[in-house]
Amino acid sequence: MEGVAASAVRAVRPKSCEAELALRRRGLLASAGQSVKQQIRFVDDDPNVLDAVRRHLRKSRSEWEVGFHDSAQACLDALATPAASVIVTDWMMPGMDGMRLCRELRQREADDAGPYYVIVLTGKDDVDSLVEALDSGADDFLTKPFDRRELMARIRCGLRVLEAESALRIANRRLESMATTDGVTGLANRRLAEATLGRELERVARGLGSLTLMMLDVDHFKQVNDQHGHAAGDAVLRRVARKLESCCRSYDLAARWGGDEFILICPHVTEREAAIIAERVRAAIGDDPSLPATVSIGVAWAESGHTPSAEALLADADAMLYAAKSGGRNRFELQPDSTL
């Protein structure tokens, strides 16, 4: 029956190998010198089993980072430090058994921990047990007694799968960052700014504080491009972006709206505080002799409990920006009445 279990598991593995090869072709897997941190953790309530594995690893001079745990809970506690881990666990244990451990590990993965590759060791050798283990979240299944060489080979396979999965996570994060980051300035882009503004206005509508929106435009930016070229214009935009970031609190969002326009989303800001922040931004840019640029700023806000649309708030900020430019530039204009 063990042969049936092993063949069923092997039928699942080729897809992981294909994914690994595809990632390598695209250059998304870390090279040998840049491998992600990986751990091996053995979980068994029988100290003799753990000692036998420990002796085998010492004899084979393994350089793996290894942990040994006499309970599933001890393993979970040790996994508080994020790392890709191969978990080799017994099935039948007092307290939390191997199946419950598998389910807990998959829940943690859903919360962005891990990734984990789980190998279940058990004296059970029937297909029903194999199916239960895989359905509970196990990746591999090995019946006792087992050949330690086979276990080591399965662990190496798990490490390769973890390398591919970790690299895929990194690649996805990079893609997500690229999708929400402006390529010139490194600030949030318009897509992220619109999503953030929508969420903040929902908070305002629930009566959970006010919101200030500032729209900024670099004065006479076209002249910079015309006289010095677009590379110089991009350099100015980057300098302005860094100044904006320096004026932000940790929970504010500075974003490039488009062209030479930026917006600043500031939660929980009163009218008086909005004026202080706007002047701070204006001075950080306009009063810096090393930065050949000034900005005009339009300021609008939504009071807690009111329900303005994003379009209405943006229109108010844009109107104030136009007023600041008409009033001589290098200044800010506050919305005269709160948005209803």
- Which residues are tagged catalytic? 260
Q: Decide if 177 contacts 188 (C-beta within 8 A).
A: no
How far is 282 from 276, CA to CA, in rounded Å? 10
Q: CB under 8 Å, gap of 24 or more: what pairs does 136-143 form?
A: 136/99, 136/100, 136/102, 136/103, 137/102, 137/103, 137/105, 137/106, 138/98, 138/102, 139/12, 140/9, 141/5, 141/6, 141/9, 143/1, 143/2, 143/5
Please report the beta strands in 190-310, taking only residues with DSSP state E, as ranges in sequence order: 211-218, 253-258, 261-267, 295-302
Nearest to 15 by CA among 172, 175, 164: 164
CB burial string 3-42: b at 16+ within 10 A, e below: eebbeebeeebeebeeebeebeeeeebeeeeeebebbbbb
* Separation between Cα atoms, residue 206 and residue 306, nearest integer Å: 8
